[in-house]
Amino acid sequence: MLYTRKGDAGTTKVIGSKERFSKGSLLTHAIGTLDEANSFLGLCRALAGPEIAPIVLDAQENLFIIQAELAGADPKSGFKGGPKPDFEEKIKKMEEAIDGIELALPPIKSFLIPGETELGALFDIARTVVRRAERQMLKAKEAKQADFSQETLAYINRLSSLCYALARLANQKNGIKEKSPTYK
């Protein structure tokens, strides 16, 4: 069933909770923004080639894990019956991908204007949504509406860097020279 009518009054609940709370809460904003980031990454993956798509799919899978963690899934008992994924290892894998991409690109000497290619622009949008998710997660944690590990936060921070690297790679693969702002 695609609808339950339980949220019609503007409330929701998370895993393991019997209490309903406002869809306008900081926790709901954080989880929703992670969902938005995942959807943008899905659009990027749909347009990316076979070299980039698996990297994006891996990030999307990890966003589901992070949403479950924010929603209250018990990290000690794991997700879906297994142990909680090792985000330190996932961060290392992502850093290796970013480092590999960076080696193929010219060095960054200034800010770059987004929008040189469609895929590059979409990765830039995904990057900004991931950054917003990071801010929302921190607000929810500071308000004691969410709890998550330092590794989870580091993963989200690194994911925005991956999106930036993939935007630049998409531009380069299309032979497009990136533009710096002129500040005129």
CB atoms within 10 A of CB 3: 7
Helix (H, G, I), strand (E, B) or coil at 11: strand
> Which domains are seen in the chain, by residue range?
24-71+87-173 (1.20.1200.10)
Q: Which amino acid is at 174?
A: N
pLDDT tens by residue, 102-143: 999 988 888 998 999 999 999 999 999 999 999 999 999 999
Tell how far CA 11 is from the center of its chain: 24
In sequence order, which residues have a C-beta less than 8 Å from that of residue 176 and are 6 or more positions away?
116, 117, 120
Mean pLDDT confidence for 159-171: 97
pLDDT tens by residue, 28-72: 999 999 999 999 999 999 999 999 999 999 999 999 999 988 988
Q: Where is average pLDDT lowest: 20-29, 115-124, 150-159?
A: 20-29
**pTM for the full predicted model:** 0.90
